[in-house]
Amino acid sequence: MTSMDKVDFSDVRWGSVEWTNLCTLYLRSYESHSPAPILGDEAAADAVDRIDYDWARMRRHMRPAFNQYLVAMRAKQIDDWSADFLSRHPDAVILHLGCGMDARASRLHPPATVQWFDVDQPNVIALRRRLYDDRAGYRTIGSSVTDEAWLDDIPTDHPMLMVAEGLLMYLTEPDVRALLQRLTDRFGSGELVFDTLSPLGPRLSKMFTKGIVKWGIRDAREMERWNPRLRLLDRGAVGARFERIPSKPVRLLWRLVNATPVRNFDVLNRFAF
Ligand SMILES: C[S@@+](CC[C@H](N)C(=O)[O-])C[C@H]1O[C@@H](n2cnc3c(N)ncnc32)[C@H](O)[C@@H]1O
């Protein structure tokens, strides 16, 4: 496929769970045009150029001048934790769950010895394959992460990193528990990197986004009690890097967010097992 081909995504229903990956893609693309980007995801900008979608409506809806930084700060912290894992485990298996259109594998340039799997719902992976090809060491899997069968194809004799950015809140709590249990049952060791919303997330979603957000947790350390193999290594508010925001008024706004309990609305977590 050449970069000139336009790919039609008009069948992604506005407001659906699948649509949320176009929101984050759009925000990463927008942020890549910032004079001093935090993430600088040029692959996202390239993807938005190639996808035929109502981006003007997306721009009105997403308020990118503010929200671009949320997504950029979140993705950057997750990239840094992932890069750190890759530097310690160059033979790792990476499970990038709810990948949407995110080109994290290209941003991180994993060594050829890494086996990377991008997993999302079958319809999202079908769209993704219109943009990106599978290659040596990189495969896409179209399945709900709540199904068990997709894991049967994954080699389990390597250290494993699960990355789930903007995913677990769309699952129910029993599904989150079962997914993490399946991973720790199958793999000898690894790390799990994901963000969690506070319990306010599903409540707000009932009012504003038709209940697509299903799960929130006040303190992710509680997950150590769900599964005794899990150890919380690190966590932080999604806006922790606000000092790097180039726009002064937006930086100020994030400084305020970080000075209040609102900072705990979306939290980044890193667990080991
Ligand atoms: C907010 S988007 C995030 C996409 C990507 N991680 C990013 O940061 O751009 C949420 C993604 O989770 C996917 N998703 C939601 N429920 C899922 C499930 N049960 N199995 C697999 N993927 C799921 C959606 O299809 C969507 O691509």
* Burial (CB count <10 Å: 0-12, 13-18, 19+), residue 229: middle
pLDDT recorded at residue 4: 59
Q: What is the pLDDT of residue 22?
A: 98
Look at residue 5 in the predicted model and tell me its pLDDT: 74
pLDDT of residue 19: 95
Amino acid at 214: K
* Ramachandran sector of residue 28 (left: φ over 0; alpha: ψ -120 to 50; beta: rest): alpha
Distance CA 69, CA 236 (A): 15
Give 96's DSSP letter: E
Domains of the chain: 68-272 (3.40.50.150)
**190 close to ligand 1 (CB < 6 Angstrom):** no
Q: Give residue 222 CA to ligand 1 midpoint distance, Å.
A: 23
Query: From ligand 1's centre to the CA of 252, what distance in Å?
Result: 30
Q: How far apart are CA 179 and CA 96, in angstroms?
A: 13
DSSP state, 132? Answer: -
φ, ψ dihedrals at 69, nearest 5°: -75, -35
273 CA to centre of ligand 1 in angstroms = 24
3-state secondary structure of 195: strand
CB atoms within 10 A of CB 73: 25
Q: Are 111 and 86 in contact (CB under 8 A)?
A: yes
Closest CA to 271 of 106, 188, 161, 143: 161
**CA dihedral sign of residues 153, 156, 159, 160:** positive
Ligand 1 in reach of 253 Cβ (< 6 A): no
Per the CB < 8 A criterion, the answer to whether 144 and 120 are in contact is no
**Could you tell which of 12, 129, 170 is best to mutate to test the pocket of ligand 1, judged by most ligand atoms within 8 Å of the CB?**
170
144 Cβ inside 6 Å of ligand 1: yes
Q: What is the pLDDT of residue 1?
A: 47
Q: What separation in Å is there between the alpha carbon of 99 and the centre of ligand 1? A: 6
- 171, two tokens: 């699952």
Does the beta carbon of 124 sit less than 6 angstroms from any atom of ligand 1?
A: yes
User: Rounded to whole angstroms, how far apart are CA atoms 64 and 238?
Assistant: 16
At a CB cut-off of 8 Å and minimum separation 6, what does 260 contact? Answer: none
- Per-residue tens of pLDDT for the chain, all 273 residues: 444 579 999 999 999 999 999 999 999 999 999 999 999 999 999 999 999 999 999 999 999 999 999 999 999 999 999 999 999 999 999 999 999 999 999 999 999 999 999 999 999 999 999 999 999 999 999 999 999 999 999 999 999 999 999 999 999 999 999 999 999 999 999 999 999 999 999 999 999 999 999 999 999 999 999 999 999 999 999 999 999 999 999 999 999 999 999 999 999 999 999
